[in-house]
A and B are shown apart, each in its own frame.
Chain A
Amino acid sequence: MWIEITTFFLTVSVLLYSLFAGADFGGGILEFFRGRQLRTEQRELISHALSPVWEANHVWLILAIVILFVGFPKAYAVISTVFHIPLTLMLIGIILRGCAFTYRHYDAVKDRSHVYYSRIFVASSFLTPLMLGTIAGAIFLGRRVPNAQTFAEIFVAPWLNLFSFSVGTFTCILFSFLAAIYLLGEAPNENLRALLVTRAKTLNGLAVLSGLSVFLAAEWDGLPLLHFFLGDPWALGCVVMATLLLAPLWLSLKFRSVIWSRFLVAAQVTFILMGWFRLQFPALVVTRIVSSGLMGMETLNIYNSAAPEATLRPLVGALIVGSVLIFPALIYLLKIFKSVR
C-alpha cells in the first residue's frame, strides 16, 4: 500500500508540474511567436503572468525528483545514468530559463542586454520541455541496444530516436497551448485576447497533429502504441475524453469563458497524462529489449525498485504534512495573482 501511495504522490507532482510549470514554459515559447503589432504587450503579459508564480510552480519538479530518489532509488539511479545527456540539457534549460526571466525583470538598466535575456528565455523555454518530453518518451519506449558496447549505444540510442523526439515536440506544443489559454484570463484588452485565441486555435490544431505523429513515430520505432491503447479501455478512455473535450473547449473560447476554457484545457492535459501513466503502470523505467551484458538492467517497476517500507512510511507522512501546508498557501498565491481580471 505504501508503494502505491508514494506512486500517487509522484504522479500528482508530475501532473501538477505539467499543468503549472508547463504553462510557464509554454509562455516562453509563445513569446517566440510574437505578432508584429502586439509584441510588447504580449511580452509584458507573459512577464506579468509568470513572475509571481513560476518559482512555486517549478518546485513540483523538485518534489517529483525527491520522491523518486527517496522512494524509488534504483529507478532514479538508472534514469540518471541512461538519460544523463538529455537530463543535463534539461537542467541547462532550467537554469537559463529561470535566470534569464528573472534578470530581465529586475535588471535596473534597460538596454541591449534585454534582447539577450529574451532570446535566452525563449530558447530555454523550448529546450526544457523538449528534453522533458524526450526523457518521458524514452522512458516509455525503453529502447536498449542488445549487447551495447559503445557510448552511442549505451548513452545516446535510448533517447535519440523519432518516438522520444515526437513526444518532446508534443510536450512543447501542449505546454504552449496551455499557456495561450491560461493567459487569456489575464490579457488586459480585447486585441490581445483575440491574438491569444488565434494562437490557441493554431496550437490546438498543431497539438492534434503532433499527437498523431507520436503514434506514427511509435510505429516507426517498433512500439505498438496504438495496439497498447486499444487493448486498455482505461487508457483509451483517457485519449477519447481528451479528444471529446475539444468541442466544449472551442465553445468556451468562442464565448470567452476564461474559467471554463482554463478548466477544460487542464482537464485535457490531465487525461493525456493519465493515459500515459495508465499504460506505463507499474513500470518506472521500461526496458523493452532485454538482453545480456547491458549493465544488468531490467524493467524497473514501482515494486522492485521501491525503498523499504521503513523509508516510505515517513516519506508519505512528510508528503501529507507538506500538502496540508502547501496547498492552502498555493491557493492563496493563485487567488492573489490569478483571479480573472
Chain B
Amino acid sequence: MTDLFAARSQMAISLGFHIVFAAVGTAMPFLMAMSHWKWLRTGDEVYLRLTKAWSKGVAIFFATGAVSGTVLSFELGLLWPEFMKHAGPIFGMPFSWEGSAFFLEAIALGIFLYGWDRIPRWVHWWSGIAVGLTGVLSGLFVICANAWMNAPQGFRWVEGEAMDIDPWAAMFNKAALHQGVHMTIAAFAAVGFAVAGVHALGLLKNSKSRFHQYAFRIALTMGAVAALIQPFHGDRLAKQVAQLQPAKLAAMEGLFTTVKPAPLAIGGWPNEAEKTLDYALHIPRLLSFFAHGDFESEVIGLDQFPLENWPPVAVTHVAFQIMVSLGSTMALIGALFLWARFRSKNWFQDRRWLRAIVFCTPLGFIAIEAGWTVTEVGRQPWIIYGVMKTKDAVSPMPGLIVPMLLFTGVYLLLAVVVTALMVRQFQNVD
C-alpha cells in the first residue's frame, strides 16, 4: 500500500465515521426539541420520557462526533500538510466560524442535558433548539470549506503559491450553498428514517406502546418531509456539478464520450479499460435535461479530459447510483407515509408498514456515505479541483499505513460499542 493510498484511506475512514455522528448531532436535537415541546404543551409524561431517551442518544452521538471531528482538524495537517500550508489561509475562514458555532453547540448541549430542574423550563427548551441550530450552522460552515475544494475561488494560483487571497470569496464559493443544503437535508432524512426504524421495531414488539407511537410519528414526519424535498434539491445540485465539475458528473453517470443529446444511465458497471458502461439501462435525452435543463443539450463525457485527470469512474458511478436509488426509495416511502397519515388515524398499526420502515433504518446513512464518496472520489485526482493534486499534498512521513490501521481499529471499536449502547438503550427504555 502506498503512503498516498494509506493517507486517503485514513481520511476516508475518519470522515466516513464522523459524518454519521455529525448528521445525528445536526438533526436529532430537533426531534428531541419537538418531543420536549409536546411535553411542555400537553404535560403528557410519555413525551418527557421520550425527550430524555432521545437526549441520551444525542449525548452519546455528540460526544463521539466531537472527538472524531477534532481528529479531522488535526488530520488535515497530519496527512495533507502541503495542502493546508496553501489552503489554510484561503478556505480556513469557515472553520473559524465553525469553531464558534460548535463551541455554542457544546455549551448549549451541556445546559440542555444537565439543566433539568436547574433553569426555567422554556430557557431549557430553547437550549435544545440552540443545540440544533448551532449544529446545522457548524455543518454548513464545514461544507463551505469542502465545497471550496470542489469549486476553488478567492485566490490566484501563481507558480505554486496563492496570491490575492479573498477568504470571503472562498467561503461563499459557487458550490457552497447547494452542497450545504443537500447535506443538511440528507441529515434530516437519514436521522428521521433511522429513528423511525428503531421505534417501528418497538411497535412491532408492542403496538400499544405510546412511547414508540409518539416517537415513530415525530421521527418519520421529519424524515419523510426531508426525503421528499431532497430529490428536487438534488436536481439543482446535479446541474451545478455539470457546470462546475463536468468530469465528476461524467464519472457519476459513467459517461465516457461526449454526446448530444445524452441519455440517462441507470445502474450498469463502468468498464474503464473498454471505456464503456456495461449492463446499464438508458433513458434517452434525460441526462441532457437533468444536467442542463434542456432535452437537446450536449453533456461532456470523460473523453474531454486527459486520462490522468479522470476520477475513479467505477467507484463514483456506483456510489452515485446507490445514493440516488436509496434517496428515491426514501422519498417514495416518505410520500406514502405522509399520504397515509393524512388519510387515517391508525396508519401506524399496519405491521407491513412497520416492517418496511424497519428495513429503511440504515438507508439514509448508506446514502450519505455514498453521496460523500461521490463528492470526494469524484473530485480525484485533485485535492483542490484543477489546482493541486492529492498526490502532491500528502505528508512526507513514510509508513502512513500505521496510523491508518490504528484509527481504523479505534473507529471500528467505537462503532461496535456505540451500536451496543444503542441496543442497550432500546432494551431498557420501557
A contact residues vs B (CB 8 Å cutoff): 51-53, 55-56, 58-59, 61-63, 65-67, 69-71, 73-74, 76-81, 84, 87-88, 91-92, 94-99, 101-103, 105-109, 151, 155, 295, 307-308, 310-311, 314-315, 318-319, 321-322, 325-326, 329-330, 332-333, 336-337
Query: In the complex, are the beta carbons of A98 and B63 less than 8 A apart?
Result: yes
Contact flag A69-B66 (CB < 8 Å), given A96-B410, A106-B59, A311-B92: no
CB contacts (< 8 Å) of A78 on chain B: these are: 81
Query: Contact: A55 with B62, CB < 8 Å?
Result: yes
Max chain B C-beta neighbours (<10 A), residue from A67, A95, A315: A95
Query: What are the interface flags for B80-105 relative to A under an 8 Å C-beta threshold, 1 for contact and 0 otherwise?
Result: 01101111111011011111101110
Nearest A residue to B91, CB-CB: A70
Interface residues of B in 160-193 (CB under 8 A from A): 164-168
- Contacts known (A87-B74, A318-B100); A81 close to B395, Cβ less than 8 A: yes
Q: Which residue of B lies closest to A70 (CB)?
A: B92
> In the docked arrangement, what's the CA distance between A305 and B339, Å?
60
With known contacts A151-B398, A337-B110, A94–B71 Cβ distance under 8 A: yes
Stretch binding the partner chain, chosen from B268-276, B354-362, B422-430 = B422-430
Are A315 and B78 CB-contacts (below 8 A) given A56-B107, A99-B414? no
**Given the complex, which residues of A lie within 8 Å of B74, measured CB to CB?**
65, 80, 87, 91
Q: For window 311-368 of chain B, which residues contact chain A by CB distance below 8 Å? A: none
Within 8 Å by CB of A66, from B78, B85, B96, lies B96
A137 to B164, CA, bound (A): 36
Number of interface residues of B (CB under 8 A): 71
Residue of A nearest to B64 (CB): A99
Inter-chain contact A333/B111, CB cutoff 8 Å: yes
4 residue pairs, one from A and one from B, having the closest CB atoms: A70-B92, A80-B77, A322-B100, A307-B89
List B contacts of A109 (CB < 8 A). Answer: 424, 428
Known: A151-B398, A318-B97, A336-B119. A69 touches B84 (CB 8 A): yes
Nearest-CB residue, chain A, relative to B81: A77
Q: How far is the CB of A124 from chain B (nearest CB, A)?
A: 10
Contact between chains at B60 and A106 (CB < 8 Å): yes
Tell me which residues across on chain A come within 8 A of B92, comparing CB atoms.
66, 69-70, 73, 307, 311, 315
Chain B residues, CB < 8 A from A97: 67
A–B pairs, 9, beta carbons within 8 Å: A56-B103, A63-B99, A66-B92, A66-B99, A73-B89, A84-B78, A92-B410, A332-B111, A333-B107
**In the complex, A292→B164 CA distance in Å?**
32
Residues on B with beta carbons closer than 8 Å to the beta carbon of A87: 74, 78
Q: Is B238 an interface residue (CB 8 A)?
A: no
Contacts of B427 in A (CB 8 A): 108
A192 → chain B, closest Cβ, in Å?
20
Q: Which residues from A are CB-within-8-Å of B424? A: 107-109
* B113 at interface by CB-CB < 8 Å: yes
Is B68 in the interface zone, CB < 8 Å from A? yes
B48-70 residues with Cβ-Cβ distance < 8 A to A are: 56, 59-60, 62-64, 66-70
Complex contacts, A329 vs chain B, CB 8 Å: 103-104, 107-108
A151 and B108 form a contact (CB under 8 A): no
Cα distance, A135 to B153, chains bound together (Å): 35
Q: CA separation between A107 and B421, bound complex, in Å?
A: 6
Q: Are A88 and B403 in contact (CB-based, < 8 A)?
A: yes
Distance, CA A62 to CA B96, complexed state (A)? 9
A151: chain B residues within 8 A (beta carbon): 398-399
Q: Does B417 contact A (CB under 8 A)?
A: yes
Picked from B104, B118, B119, B410, the residue with its CB within 8 Å of the CB of A95 is B410
Residues in A neighbouring B266, C-beta threshold 8 A: none
Q: Give the residues in chain A near B96, CB-CB below 8 Å.
A: 66-67, 70, 315, 318-319, 322
Cβ-based interface call for B73 (8 A): yes
B281 at the interface (CB under 8 A from A): no
State A79–B421 Cα separation when bound (angstroms): 37
Residues B21-72 near A (CB distance < 8 A):
56, 59-60, 62-64, 66-71
Residue of B nearest to A332 (CB): B111
Closest to A317 in B: B96
**Inter-chain contacts of A107 with B (CB < 8 A):** 421, 424
B234 within 8 A of A: no
Which residue in B70, B82, B87 is a CB contact (below 8 Å) of A62? B70
B99 pairs with A322, CB closer than 8 A? yes
In the assembled complex, which residues on chain B have CB atoms less than 8 Å from the CB atom of A73?
84-89, 92
Give min CB distance, A108 to chain B, whole Å. 4
Interface of chain B residues 378 through 398 with chain A (CB within 8 A)? 395-398
Question: Do A98 and B397 touch across chains, with their CB atoms under 8 A apart?
Answer: no
